[in-house]
A and B are shown apart, each in its own frame.
Chain A
Amino acid sequence: MSGESVIVASRLSKDFGSGRGLFELDLEVGRGEVFGFLGPNGAGKSTTIRLLLDLIKPTSGSVQVLGLDPRTESLEIRRRVGFLPGDLALYPKLTGRAVLDYLAELRGGVDRRVRDSLVERFDADLDRPVRHLSTGNRQKLGLIQAFMHEPELLILDEPIAGLDPLVQQSFHALLAEVTARGRTVFLSSHTLSEVERVTDRLAILRQGRLVVVDSLENLRKVAVQRLEIEFGEPVDGAKFSVLPGVTDVQTSGVTLTISFEGSADAVVKAAAAHEVRAIRPREDDLEDIFLRYYRETPS
């Protein structure tokens, strides 16, 4: 985290009953960060965002956005925040241009050059009614309206949903530009791949509770590593499963797949006792730890 905090949540809770909601969230997002907010569907991500924007009121706890209280100063917060809702909905009968005009008017006008450059960057179709646009083209309108007033804080819920790879690239470049100018991005998603390329730090939420907040770098350090080792002849997997740090061993013919935490030293030395034809690292280690956080709280 860098500099002053843009979002500070303290024991923030919203209880919908039956175990649903958000519970005792403590969170701090610094200025200029791209902060990933991850969790499976129903984990409480959208509830958190709705609390930040005063769309719903907390059951307990407190939150500050840009140093302001959403309960009493939400107007000023919303003036300085750009928001892209997940599962974006717009007026289906209106054209993209009419929708953007309306949303710009609600802000008392926006810099036309900024809006036009965003339209050009995303190659957005402004002339057709929203109901005739594909999901991706509607999402482009959502992104344009979120960025067009050059907000200090962007709250983006599943921003690349439906976008093709080229537009995703434009979006990632835009994120880099806005954060380089000191703006903050709070990026919510249920998939790691959506935020992995752009976030500095991320939080993982599960069943309404915060499971972990850390940098991607630190999460990688504790990630489970996985190697696929091809031997000259079949080996006894049991001898590998007792090695320090090993969490899983699977054998198939002459191939052994081993998962372990920490140093690879013991695994490599044990393998060296046999004829080793090939060692292949598996690259989905971060995804593994991410999914592990989703399923259960790691000890």
Chain B
Amino acid sequence: MSWPATRITLRLRLVGTVSATVGLVAVMAMVGALFPAVGHTIGKLDVPPSVANLLGGADYATITGWFRSEIAVIYAPLVIAALAITGASSATAGEEEDRILALVLAHPITRSRLVAAKALAVALIVVAVAAAVWVGLIVGVALGGGGIGLARISALAVQLAFFGFAIGAVALALGAGTGYRSLANGVAAAVAVLGWLVNSFAPLVGPIAWLKYLTLFYYYTGHDPLTRGVFVTGLVVLGLVTLVLTSVGIVAFGRRDLRA
């Protein structure tokens, strides 16, 4: 590990990360504050099953369903995936494409330590976003009249953090392994979005319902952490995906030529 490389990566992503975390807390506070006013009305909406699944059930009548649909299933994973993916691809392929990496690697730091340092920085960004979601949920739920326990809120934040680690590792492996930032961004974003869609729609079609198990999204929210708490299997799978992909990125980066 190289602390200077981790610190510089964090420093370069500081403004984006702080903006995202402040924005998350503000949005969740507003979402919570809106619930007492609109929960009863919107809760009576008859939402088609396919749309309801996209929104994590669309159970707007309860504060848990309200936050699940508004925050847990769309907004929070969107923000954490965006920061993890862009952070990981910029720190590896981005610096390579910008021709900065050639200078950095002319210094006495091994490629594996450099990628590990970048991975740590991305993980810390993900933790900051997950922590913002945790704080935002506490504030939002309080403003919405309460109804979700701290353990459930913490469970969502932990599942979300592991989802961020895993999707960031997809971008890191591709960025470090190929040196192409757009490829890393595109594929990782596709993995996130397709995962959300497959996890939402596959259960509606019996024969392909099992496809949800192939998505990162299922291991994040498939067991509804706001209602059922921590999904340990999900954490294990997401953790393993993170470790394997980060290792793949480190090995691939060590073996290939740096792009000109």
B108 to chain A: which residues have CB within 8 Å?
75-76, 78-79, 106-108
**Residue B100 CB within 8 A of the other chain:** yes
Q: What is the size, in residues, of chain B's interface with A at 8 Å between Cβ atoms?
A: 22
CA distance A54 to B2 in the complex (A): 19
Which chain B residues numbered 233 to 260 have a C-beta less than 8 Å away from chain A?
257-258, 260
> Do A87 and B99 contact each other (CB < 8 Å), given the known contacts A46-B260, A55-B257?
yes
CB distance from B180 to the nearest CB of A (A): 17
**Residue A88 CB within 8 A of the other chain:** yes
**Residue A81 CB within 8 A of the other chain:** yes
CA distance A75 to B106 in the complex (A): 9
Q: Which of A83, A91, A98, A107 contacts B100 (CB 8 A)?
A: A91
What residue in chain B is nearest A77 (Cβ atoms)?
A: B108
Would you call A56 and B258 a contact (CB within 8 A)?
yes
Would you call B104 and A106 a contact (CB within 8 A)?
yes
**Residue A105 CB within 8 A of the other chain:** yes
CB distance from B254 to the nearest CB of A (A): 11
A90 to chain B: which residues have CB within 8 Å?
100, 103
Would you call B12 and A50 a contact (CB within 8 A)?
no
Interface size class of A (residues with CB under 8 A): 20 to 34
> Do A85 and B104 contact each other (CB < 8 Å), given the known contacts A55-B257, A55-B258, A91-B8?
no
How many pairs of A and B residues are in contact by the CB < 8 Å rule?
65
CA distance A76 to B109 in the complex (A): 10
CB distance from A82 to the nearest CB of B (A): 8
Which chain A residues numbered 94 to 123 have a C-beta less than 8 Å away from chain B?
94, 98, 102-103, 105-108
Would you call A78 and B8 a contact (CB within 8 A)?
no
What residue in chain A is nearest B98 (Cβ atoms)?
A: A89
Most buried by A among B4, B99, B100, B108: B108
Produce 1/0 per residue, A173-210, CB < 8 A to B: 00000000000000000000000000000000000000
Q: Which B residues have a C-beta under 8 Å from some C-beta of A? A: 2, 4-5, 7-8, 11-12, 98-100, 102-110, 257-258, 260
The 6 A-B residue pairs with the shortest CB-CB distance in the complex, in nearest-first order? A105-B4, A83-B106, A56-B257, A89-B99, A106-B107, A79-B108
Report 29 cross-chain contacts, Cβ distance below 8 Å, ordered by A residue: A46-B260, A50-B258, A53-B106, A55-B105, A55-B106, A55-B257, A56-B258, A76-B108, A78-B107, A79-B108, A81-B106, A83-B103, A83-B106, A85-B99, A85-B102, A88-B103, A90-B103, A91-B8, A91-B12, A94-B12, A98-B11, A102-B4, A102-B8, A103-B103, A103-B104, A103-B107, A105-B4, A106-B2, A106-B107
